Amino acid sequence: MPFPRMSNGRQGENVFVIAEIGKNFIQTEEDRPLEEYVQNALTLIDAAKDAGVDAVKFQTHEVEDEQLPLHVVSPHFSGMDRYRWVTRNTLATPLEFWQRIKAHCDARGIVFFTTPMSRKAAQKVEALVPFWKVGSADLQDDILLRYLISTKKPIIISTGMVSLQELDDAVTALQPKVQELAILYCVSHYPCPPEHFNLATLRLFRKKYPTAVIGFSDHSLGDDAALAAVHAGARIIEKHFSLSRDLWGPDHKASITPDEMRRLVDAIRANTPPTEDETSFFGKEDAELEGATNPYRPYFNKGLVAAEDIPKGTVLTENMIYAMRPLKHIPGLSAHRLTQALGKAVAKGLRKYDPIDPASLLPHP
């Protein structure tokens, strides 16, 4: 079992708490040297460890196979277009960055892992992580999922940008093939008003997926939603984590600070109930996930494109295809339609990043 705190203890004692550092080591609009990014990350790790969390999670990017070079601005962050932002994250985190982060976490006795945003991102850090996190927008990225499955490591998935059916499809694809699967209920708003939650979904997940570990990725500010989730049986709690909500970047504003994290961890361990009536966080157990209509889906879902120049008549293999954002600008197969492209010849030559659509494919001979 990759989540050691779950092995025994009272309800609050066996909850695995994750500080989602994500990209919060980037704190200024202007580019900064690698060493400053590393030191920011180390400071956040130390603060998370001192707050009592079990693990820190980052996000790993490789712009080449994640984001098309288009000017697209996500509604949750107007400070920079997506291509420039993902490029900056890629350049800020060479392998040396991840190696130093991993070594520091090991020295401090805290678990390090990351959310890879593409296959190349996962390949970059594969040797450094004990398990994976898949962001909700990538639950339909067949290329990424197939690579993660091949590593034979446990996987945590979030649900903030999927429907119940899409989640069920992902669990069906993953669960028989991975060592262990954890599912985190999530609402992808930054920060998320507590009234948007439907924590009854945790009970639904426990019934539908009895062999999975069920948890809660909480984008709200404050403790009450997370504490209500623990009382509903969540075994993992994840919260965005920053030194200050006033820093520059998309996720600081939806993060809790070190003092706030310390109070939350203490409350979880003590099995403290929320200060508000916890029923206010619960809705209907069979309600559709908010992710089915989440407004960020067109910006973060992916489509299939050529990973290289492909001559006419070439039979497509997995390495010739990238799954890239944003789907709204890729007029072709979505990333969960990979099997419709594999093994087929292209009817015309494709340039790198051309969409792969059914009309460009020849049927199997």
pLDDT at position 195, please? 80
Neighbour count for residue 46 (Cβ, 10 Å): 14
pLDDT at position 364, please? 66
Given the DSSP bridges, would you call strands 181-186 and 236-240 parallel, antiparallel or unpaired? unpaired
Which one-letter amino acid corresponds to residue 126? E
pLDDT at position 6, please? 66
Assigned token pair, 277:
């009536």
Q: Which of 10, 15, 14, 32 is nearest to 23 (CA)?
A: 32
Q: Which domains does the chain have, with CATH numbers?
A: 4-293 (3.20.20.70), 302-360 (3.90.1210.10)
Beta bridge partners of 20: 57, 240
CA–CA distance, 50 with 313 (Å, rounded to integer): 58
Rg of the chain in Å (alpha carbons) = 20
* Cis status, amide bond into 191, omega within 30 of 0: yes
CA–CA distance, 85 with 67 (Å, rounded to integer): 10
Chunked mean pLDDT (size 10), the chain, 365 residues:
63 89 97 98 98 98 97 90 97 98 98 98 98 97 98 97 96 94 94 88 96 95 93 95 97 96 96 77 90 93 98 97 97 96 96 95 78
CA–CA distance, 5 with 17 (Å, rounded to integer): 9
Stated as kind and residue range, the H or E segment containing 22 is: strand 16-22
Please report, for residues 142, 232, 271, 328, the alpha-carbon distance to residue 159 in angstroms, rounded to integers and kept in the order given: 16, 17, 25, 20
pLDDT at position 8, please? 52
Ramachandran region, residue 52 (left: φ > 0; alpha: ψ -120 to 50; beta: rest):
left
- The alpha-helical segments, DSSP class H, found in 141-185 are 142-150, 164-174
Q: Which of 284, 285, 289 is nearest to 163 (CA)?
A: 289
pLDDT at position 75, please? 86
pLDDT at position 76, please? 84
DSSP code at position 246:
T
Beta bridge partners of 217: 186, 238
Q: Which of 109, 114, 68 is nearest to 87 (CA)?
A: 68
